[in-house]
Amino acid sequence: MSLLIRNGRIVTAVDDYRADVFIEDETISHIGLDLDMDADRIIDARDKLVIPGGVDPHTHMDMPFGGTTSADDFETGTRAAAFGGTTTIIDFVVQQKGHSTLEALETWHAKAEGKACIDYGFHMIVTDMEDERLWEMRRLCDEGITSYKMFMAYPGVLYVDDGTLFRAMRKAADDGTLVCMHAENGIVIDEIVKRHLAEGKTSPRYHALTRPTRMEAEGVHRAIAIAEVAGAPVYIVHLSCADALEQVTLARDRGAPVYAETCPQYLFLDIGHYEQEGFEGAKYVMTPPLRERWNQDHLWRGLAFGDLHSIATDHCPFCFKDQKALGIDDFSKIPNGAPGVENRMSLVYNGGVVAGRISPNKFVELTSTAAAKLFGLFPKKGTIAVGSDADIVVFDPKRKETISVGNLHTHHMNVDYNAYEGMEVQGVSETVVCRGRVVVADGDWHGHSGGGNFLKRGTFDGRA
């Protein structure tokens, strides 16, 4: 099977030029001007950008959490991702406390196999790591699981203490793997939550008011300090505010190998969303919470100047009617998380490139290349080059869409609301190619469940 993408403007994290791309089976085999080659299928990309498929390094499909399970499974979630121009996700396996991480990995393989429509890798959420279990981390690395997530938040659920963090980070430093940190001081936050509930403050707005930015900044500071002593690089996930970013900047300025992601929700939504009528604010209950709008300028600066490296979604959808309602009388029982995997590329292009904040190259870096490099997928993923996997998006930089749960072009996620409802975006993924197969063309689905492969990822030594 061969595919020729003609007349497009190829944009990678570093290049921007006109050329044709020829794909044989799953791989890019030729790039050049006016390629004179026979192909089984030809796509005309005139006036379009030809960009690497998006890599979203932070999703939660089919994840038991908050007394329920995230609403997208690997089939619906990866199909929605593909519609939005994302061709690779890295999802999170959850270790059950006291049980083997390898057992958890098997469970997640079973969830994804035969269902995922795009390629996928796994991080491991480590919930305990006693000395006698440390050997599992090396085994995980051999299985292609080269990054872990650990939580300073959610005491009694996913939280790990600093000793566990340190032990795991030392082992990660030995193995060349990367620890991803949910950095918030969950112990203090839980005290604040208890006090609010005792005062009868139970509505969704208190989710934000009980999680101060200082508690995120403290978590980031502590995670970095522990990583420095352990001699390990660290990647801060879903960084939401200027306070926390300052800690990353300070650490990087002294040469520490610290990396961080933010998410569209922190760039485009704000704390005002919790003030919507009735229980509507529950739609935005995610952790960390939405922040005051002024933080967004700081995040964009961090992205533009290199202290924030990637934009992930933290896609963790729960239906408003049946799932968010678990916390109707108590905000602390609202399942934490929001949908977004489908809308990331358009949101970032519109709010970044169209708004003049970042270049098209930076857009590709933030939505694809950086995550591919940090998480051991580059150059198979994250770029357009001879020998790379043919994960390509023909992206219309002029077309506009209004994001809505009711718009069949912008919402295929299995959740009954869209966090970006009514937002108009310029820049739409038109044709999406996953390993040489056209999976989306002009809004129609051509992919299939099980079409995605599990990706055994390589290691990362912390060097930029």
Which stretches of the chain bind ligand URP, using CB under 6 A? 60, 182, 238, 286-287, 314, 316, 336-337
- Given ligand URP, Zn ion, none, residue 286, with its beta carbon under 5 to 8 Å by kind, binds ligand URP
Nearer to Zn ion, 107 or 407 (CB): 107
Residue of closest CB approach to ligand URP: 336
Residue 72 touching Zn ion (CB under 5 A): no
- In the complex, the smallest distance separating the C-beta of residue 74 from ligand URP, rounded to whole angstroms, is 16
| 452 neighbors 43 (Cβ within 8 angstroms) | no
Within a 10 A sphere around the Cβ of 27, how many other Cβ atoms?
14
Distances (CA, A) of 21 to 18, 35, 87, 314, 397: 10, 8, 17, 32, 19
Residue 36 backbone phi and psi in degrees, to 5: -105, 80
264 preceded by a cis bond (ω within 30 of 0): no
- In the complex, the smallest distance separating the C-beta of residue 181 from Zn ion, rounded to whole angstroms, is 9
| Residue-by-residue DSSP string for 403-449 | --TT-TTT--SSSS--TTTT-EEEEEEEEEEETTEEEEETTEE---T
- In the complex, the smallest distance separating the C-beta of residue 315 from ligand URP, rounded to whole angstroms, is 9
Beta bridge mates, 98: none
- Given Zn ion, ligand URP, none, residue 91, with its beta carbon under 5 to 8 Å by kind, binds none
- Given Zn ion, ligand URP, none, residue 336, with its beta carbon under 5 to 8 Å by kind, binds ligand URP
- In the complex, the smallest distance separating the C-beta of residue 412 from Zn ion, rounded to whole angstroms, is 20
First-last CA distance in the chain? 37
Residue 182 touching Zn ion (CB under 5 A): yes
# chain residues binding Zn ion, by CB under 5 A: 2
Nearer to ligand URP, 4 or 415 (CB): 415
- Given Zn ion, ligand URP, none, residue 350, with its beta carbon under 5 to 8 Å by kind, binds none
- Given Zn ion, ligand URP, none, residue 247, with its beta carbon under 5 to 8 Å by kind, binds none
- In the complex, the smallest distance separating the C-beta of residue 180 from Zn ion, rounded to whole angstroms, is 9
Distance CA 291, CA 213 (A): 8
Please classify residue 250 by burial: count the beta carbons closer than 10 Å to its beta carbon, then call 0-12 exposed, 13-18 middle and 19+ buried.
Answer: middle
* Residue the block writes with tokens 């791989």: 27
| Residue-by-residue DSSP string for 136-174 | HHHHHHHTT--EEEEESSSTTTTB--HHHHHHHHHHHHH
- In the complex, the smallest distance separating the C-beta of residue 348 from ligand URP, rounded to whole angstroms, is 18
Output DSSP code: residue 454. B
- Given ligand URP, Zn ion, none, residue 435, with its beta carbon under 5 to 8 Å by kind, binds none
- In the complex, the smallest distance separating the C-beta of residue 386 from Zn ion, rounded to whole angstroms, is 35
Residue 91 touching Zn ion (CB under 5 A): no
Nearer to Zn ion, 22 or 375 (CB): 375
- In the complex, the smallest distance separating the C-beta of residue 237 from Zn ion, rounded to whole angstroms, is 6
Please classify residue 106 by burial: count the beta carbons closer than 10 Å to its beta carbon, then call 0-12 exposed, 13-18 middle and 19+ buried.
Answer: exposed
- Given ligand URP, Zn ion, none, residue 337, with its beta carbon under 5 to 8 Å by kind, binds ligand URP
Residue 314 touching Zn ion (CB under 5 A): yes
- In the complex, the smallest distance separating the C-beta of residue 302 from ligand URP, rounded to whole angstroms, is 19
Q: What are the helix (H) ranges across 309-394?
A: 344-348, 360-364, 370-374
Interface segment toward Zn ion; rule CB under 5 A; list 49-57, 307-315, 318-326, 396-404: 307-315
Residue 83 backbone phi and psi in degrees, to 5: -55, -35
Distance CA 338, CA 335 (A): 9
Interface segment toward Zn ion; rule CB under 5 A; list 139-147, 173-181, 249-257, 310-318: 310-318
Residue 365 touching Zn ion (CB under 5 A): no
Written as one letter, the residue type at 153 is A
Written as one letter, the residue type at 51 is I
Within a 10 A sphere around the Cβ of 416, how many other Cβ atoms?
18
- In the complex, the smallest distance separating the C-beta of residue 78 from ligand URP, rounded to whole angstroms, is 17
Nearer to Zn ion, 314 or 389 (CB): 314
Nearer to ligand URP, 238 or 298 (CB): 238
Which pair of tokens denotes residue 167? 């032990």
- Given Zn ion, ligand URP, none, residue 339, with its beta carbon under 5 to 8 Å by kind, binds none
Nearer to ligand URP, 180 or 258 (CB): 180
379 preceded by a cis bond (ω within 30 of 0): yes
Binding mask 208-247 for Zn ion (x = CB under 5 A): ----------------------------------------
Q: Point out which residues bind Zn ion (CB under 5 A).
A: 182, 314
